[in-house]
Amino acid sequence: MMEFPRVHGRSAQALRPIVMKPDVARYAHGSVLSCFGETQVICAAILEKKIPRWMQQQGVEGGWVTAEYSLLPYSTPQERKTRDINKGKLDGRSVEIQRLIGRALRAVVDLKKLPGYTLWVDCDVLQADGGTRTAAITGAYLAASMAIKKALAKGSLAKDPFTDSVAAVSVGILAGEVLLDLDYQEDSSAEVDFNIVMTGSGRFIEVQGGGEGSTFDEPQLAQLLALGQKGIRELVQIQRKILHEGR
């Protein structure tokens, strides 16, 4: 039994309430408001007939997939977050997360089926309560998939470049308890904290984690991974439902 209550009265093995609201940005080719509990991220995808200069210079075939991530100034309960453009450089955390989102998407895309195109996915955090990167990755796949479907319908692309889906979730250990999908309060106090990124078919893309002034053993690691896999399976079902309803 848990020694402390979780928000929404959920169990240690339960996700927060997950809401995926599609078509929230009119001019994007695909968009979704990805909500993991109180965390809210707008993910918007645009397919641009252009490839990075390095691909042109090196004669690399196909296209590219990339992402940008930002916390909006009013997204946290702390003091106002200064926009990166006003600081003259990207925040280190933002760089790390947007690279993660890009890697996660590219892991399930055949870039040769995006000839001459760049698929941009912008992830803007409206409200942060833990798990912004996992909400961003899960929503980014939906937004990107919607954009690709529109391009296929218009004839801009000949083949679907997606080879699988992708979703992400956090797991951690707090007060000795293994928890799924940590909110900010849990994440900030956790002894162990992991982010797990997986394909819809159940293959790992990335596992980020470690002890926060603590250690963990092999059985606990196995528990964390198994619980993360459970959460991913549930998220994949939500993604599939959204995409099926959008047909």
What rounded mean pLDDT belongs to the chain? Answer: 93
Domains and CATH numbers, the chain: 7-245 (3.30.230.70)
Taking residues 52-61, what's their average pLDDT? 94
pLDDT, tens digit (0-9, with 9 covering 90-100), for 132-171: 999 999 999 999 999 999 999 999 999 999 999 999 999 9
pLDDT, tens digit (0-9, with 9 covering 90-100), for 16-26: 999 999 999 99
| Tokens coding 26 | 């009119």
DSSP state of 163: S
Contact at 8 Å (CB) between 141 and 105?
A: yes
pTM above 0.85, yes or no: yes
pLDDT of residue 1: 45
Taking alpha carbons only, the member of 234, 238, 235, 242 closest to residue 146 is 242
pLDDT at 126 > cutoff 80: yes
**How would residue 2 be classed by pLDDT, with cut points 50, 70 and 90?**
low
Separation of first and last alpha carbons in the chain: 43
6 vs 160, residue with greater confidence: 160
Taking alpha carbons only, the member of 125, 117, 27 closest to residue 70 is 125
- CB under 8 Å to 8, separation ≥6 — which residues? 16, 17, 37
CA distance 169 to 118: 26
Taking alpha carbons only, the member of 205, 206, 179 closest to residue 193 is 179
pLDDT, tens digit (0-9, with 9 covering 90-100), for 164-222: 999 999 999 999 999 999 999 999 999 999 999 999 999 999 999 999 889 999 999 99
CA distance 32 to 45: 9
- CB under 8 Å to 1, separation ≥6 — which residues? none
pLDDT of residue 88: 66
pLDDT of residue 173: 96
pLDDT of residue 99: 96
Taking residues 234-243, what's their average pLDDT? 97
pLDDT, tens digit (0-9, with 9 covering 90-100), for 63-87: 999 999 998 888 887 777 777 766 6
Amino acid, res. 181 = D
pLDDT of residue 89: 66
> Which strands, in side-by-side order, build the sheet including 30-36?
18-22, 30-36, 39-48, 118-127, 64-71
pLDDT of residue 44: 98
Taking residues 84-105, what's their average pLDDT? 85
- The secondary structure of 19-88 as a DSSP string is EEEE--STTSSEEEEEEETTEEEEEEEEEES---HHHHHHT--S-EEEEEEEE-TTSSSSSPPPPHHHHT
